[in-house]
Amino acid sequence: MPVEWNESARTWTLSGGDVSYVLHRDGQDRLLHLYWGPRLPGDALRYEPSDYHSFASFDLPVSVLPSEIPVCGTGWFGTPAVGIRDEKGAEVVDLKVVSAEILPGKPLPDGLPAVYTEADTEADSLAFCLEDAVSGLQVTAVYSVFSDSGAVTRRLILKNAGNAPLMVTSLLSASVPLWQGNLDILHLNGAWARERRPVRVPACEGEFRISSARGASGHEENPFLALCERGADEFSGQVWSVNLVYSGSFLAFCRTDIFGHARLSIGMNPDVFSWTLDPGESLTSPEAVMVFSASGLNGMSQVYHRLYRDRLVRGTWRDRSRPILLNSWESAYFDFDENRLLEIARKAAEIGAELFVLDDGWFGKRNSDNCSLGDWTVNPEKIPSGLKGLSDQVHDLGLQFGLWFEPEMVSPDSDLYRAHPDWCLHVEGRPRTQARQQLILDLSRPEVQDYIIDAVSGVLSSSGIDYVKWDMNRNMTEAFSVSLPPERRKETQHRYMLGLYRVLEAVTSAFPQVLFESCSGGGGRFDPGMLYYMPQTWTSDDTDAVERLKLQYGTSIVYPASAMGAHVSAVPNHQTGRTVPLKMRGDVALGGNFGFELDPGKFSPEELEETRKMVLRVKELRDLTRTGTFWRLLSPFAGHITAWAFVSQDQRKVLLCAYSVLSVPNSAPVRVRLRGLKEDAWYETEDGRRFLGAALLYQGITLPLRGDFDSFVCVLKSV
Ligand code: GLA
């Protein structure tokens, strides 16, 4: 029974895989959190009120209760999951459970991305209805638990069933008291070109927060936060984590209460969000995905990988190998014409690539990044045959054809801006802050959404496009839509996201065959919200292979390899100036959606030959990297050797990848233990060496790495 109600204990137990999540309705109809951890039977737990009674007058019962949905103004002193300001300016809520309903499968939110089921047997759901009697606020808390993995999702639906407007001032998708302390916090921190670096710090007294107010999930922090037992590592120990299925600003925090117990929360960022609910209106929070693992960080990541690969990503490309692409950006930047593009494409075909992507610079009069965003018509001076003509010629070379767009933006120097100067985010009477000489279109406005849908669809339906790179290259300023009344202007960022999701749904469902890859100055919007619409994301603008070890390792904490764009680029690398051998560049990129970011016309004959062989190998291995279980083995943050492996679902095939950055003198050969193999199976390498599974698991395999920038990629098959 995935969701069990125990009448005598007044508990609901949600169970899936090896995990249970237990809630309790107390004598005053408050919804309390009892447990989240290894699986338990539905009658295992009783709530002991004395556990949580503090008698000092400063510690009101509510402030120390393990509330599942902490609210404002009635004794909860932290950031509430639900904060409401009423017409009189008071912020007081008191939620009582009115009813609870167990539902088969997983209901989906309207207009927001979410993980889904394909059969009702895959998950079960529990919907609580809670009410604040005075204001008329109704909160529906919708939980789902996936039967195979125990991943739990939660979202809140707020409805104003009263007679006066209510302003939502705080809205958290998940807020879980863990009943214990002495934990570590793990988050993914970064910046442009060095996104998602795992950072682990002790959870100490007080509060630890990460957030984005950028109007995008951002390069700086990912909407993910985990708490780990002190001793937990990649392979063992307990980990609790939350990830928000949302692409805009967010807040995540760990608050340690007076007993030293940690609470893990994620949701909307109240610094840049509020929402007025008129009587009868509703608002749904983004969905939080909550993953518990008793087998360390790899165990946690593997649950996210599988769930996102199979039940977040949708459409034609979900279960298909992704084409090997060559993107024009680092080979030509803005400096190209039709002939030059075709020259590059011809070489791309020669090395075995399958898709040629024309990046920035094909439209309006864009020869640098100072104009034309918004004018999505081809520049006939650069491409006289037009997009259709170019696409036909690329198709004739046996390649698919892809195109870059940055549809959410407008350049002040563009026909679109001249026609609609009020369509960008701005505040009357104030300068419009530019970044990369561009402004952001106000996607909270339906007419702007419609314009984007029409402009992009027009190009896609007329030009033979097989792939789209959907970019977004700056963050929000003056995000207070002029189309909204003053009291609603702080809704702009969230309305923008809802507008963006409407646009993405319209465009991606109108062109189901097109492969979409999202991008935001590289990985500035690498989040589950975007993956719901677009099955892959450009991991980072940093294409240096050594940096990519960190990028791919850090990104894999939450996101599957099938979501990561990974390209071989030219040397010296354009971001770091580093020169890494072609072999290692290829061996790193094969850990994601493989491609190129260079002009193969500049290769020597030997390099061309090496690249052709590399591409053939990637074609052999890409099903395994897309569908295999990913194991982080040695961290690039911990030493000079990095290793990871992909193990096929039937455990018969393993791809081991290991890399040495700078060699260390007088060091012993490094041995790495593989994971996820069958102990009693024999595995054979391509050069005929045989190993017993147990030997690989417990003694490991020696890595033949020598010198700087060396790599070792090896396939083992069970015999
Ligand atoms: C962003 C992307 C790059 C490239 C440029 C084009 O920075 O991340 O890959 O597309 O825009 O302007």
Give residue 110's pLDDT: 93
| C-alpha of 410 from chain center | 26
Helix axes 338-350, 386-396, angle to 10 degrees: 20
Residue 559: name the closest of 473, 630, 468 by CA: 630
Whether the per-residue pLDDT at 319 is higher than 90: the answer is yes
Identity of the residue numbered 59: D
Does residue 2 have its Cβ closer than 6 Å to ligand 1? no
Please give the distance, rounded to the nearest whole angstrom, from the Cα atom of residue 601 to the centre of ligand 1.
22
Ligand 1: which of 404, 408, 520 to mutate, most ligand atoms within 8 Å of CB? 404
Q: Which tokens hold the place of 520?
A: 């935001």
Distances (CA, A) of 412 to 82, 409, 424, 436, 548: 40, 10, 10, 11, 35
Over pLDDT 90: what percentage of the chain?
A: 96
Residue 34, helix vs strand vs coil:
strand
Ligand 1 neighbourhood includes 519 CB (under 6 angstroms): yes
The pair of structure tokens assigned to 593 is 């959606």
Q: Tell me if 359 CB under 6 Å of ligand 1.
A: yes
134-159 mean pLDDT: 98
pLDDT (tens digit per residue) in 623-677: 999 999 999 999 999 999 999 999 999 999 999 999 999 999 998 989 999 999 9
> Over 80: is that where the pLDDT of 54 sits?
no
Ligand 1 touching residue 560 (CB < 6 A): no
What is the distance in angstroms between the CA of the first residue and the CA of the last residue of the chain?
39
The model's pLDDT over 1-43, given as tens digits with 9 standing for 90+, comes to: 799 999 999 999 999 999 999 999 999 999 999 999 999 999 9
Tell which residue, 433, 418, 428, has the closest CA to residue 481: 428
Cα 333 to averaged position of ligand 1 atoms, centre (Å): 9
pLDDT score recorded for residue 436: 97
Ligand 1 centre to CA of 329 (Å) is 7
Among 358, 541, 574, 597, which residue has the most ligand 1 atoms within 8 Å of its CB, making it the best to mutate?
Answer: 541
| Tokens read off for 74 | 């009635």
Q: What is the pLDDT of residue 633?
A: 98
Q: Look at ligand 1, atom 2, and give the residue with the nearest C-alpha.
A: 521
Give the closest residue to 498 by CA, choosing from 243, 223, 278, 273.
273
Q: Give the residue among 381, 406, 378, 376 at the shortest CA–CA distance from 391.
A: 378
**pLDDT higher than threshold 60 for residue 254:** yes
Q: Which residues are catalytic?
A: 471, 541
- CB 524 less than 6 A from any atom of ligand 1: no
Q: 3-state secondary structure string, 472-520?
A: CCCCCCCCCCCCCCHHHHHHHHHHHHHHHHHHHHHHHHHCCCCEEEECE
Give the residue, by CA position, lying nearest to ligand 1 atom 7: 521
Tokens 């894999």 map to which residue? Answer: 556
* Residue 680 burial class via C-beta count within 10 angstroms: exposed 0-12, middle 13-18, buried 19 and up: exposed
Any ligand 1 atom below 6 A from CB of 12: no
Average pLDDT of span 611-631: 98
Q: What is the position in ligand 1's atom list of the atom closest to the CA of 597?
A: 9
Q: How confident is the model over 132-143, as a mean pLDDT?
A: 98
The pLDDT value given to residue 50: 61
- pLDDT tens digit sequence for 369-382: 999 999 999 999 99
Question: Best substitution site from 328, 409, 519, 569 to test ligand 1's pocket, by max atoms within 8 Å of Cβ?
Answer: 519
* Beta-carbon-side half-sphere exposure of residue 29 (alpha carbons within 13 Å): 13
- The angle at the Cα of 245, spanning 300 to 152, to the nearest 5 degrees, equals 50
pLDDT above 70 coverage of the chain, percent: 99
Helix (H, G, I), strand (E, B) or coil at 532: helix
How high does pLDDT run on average in the chain? 97
Rg from Cα positions in the chain: 26
Q: Is the CB of 710 under 6 A from ligand 1?
A: no
For the segment 170-197, what is each residue's pLDDT rounded down to a tens digit? 999 999 999 899 999 999 999 999 999 9
- Decide: helix, strand or coil at residue 64: helix
Tell me which residue of 110, 91, 443, 492 sits closest to 275, measured CA to CA. Answer: 492
DSSP for residue 378: B
Q: Count other Cβ atoms within 10 Å, centred on residue 24.
A: 20
Confidence of residue 259 (pLDDT cuts 50, 70, 90): confident
Furthest-apart CA atoms within the chain: distance in Å: 80
| pLDDT of 53 strictly over 70 | no
Q: How confident is the model at residue 51 (pLDDT cuts 50, 70, 90)?
A: low
Long-range own/partner contacts, residues 7-12 (CB < 8 A, 24 or more apart): 9/43, 9/45, 9/46, 9/47, 10/47, 11/42, 11/45, 11/46, 11/47, 12/100, 12/126
Spacing, Cα 672 to ligand 1 middle (Å): 37
Mean pLDDT, to the nearest integer, of 71-86?
95
478 ligand 1 Cβ < 6 A: no
In the structure, what pLDDT confidence band is assigned to residue 62 with cuts at 50, 70 and 90? confident
Lowest-confidence range among 63-72, 358-367, 392-401, 590-599?
A: 63-72
**Is the pLDDT assigned to residue 48 strictly greater than 90?**
no
Point out which residues pair with 263 in neighbouring strands. 177, 255
Say how many Å lie between the CA of residue 621 and the centre of ligand 1: 28
What is residue 258's predicted lDDT score, i.e. its pLDDT? 87
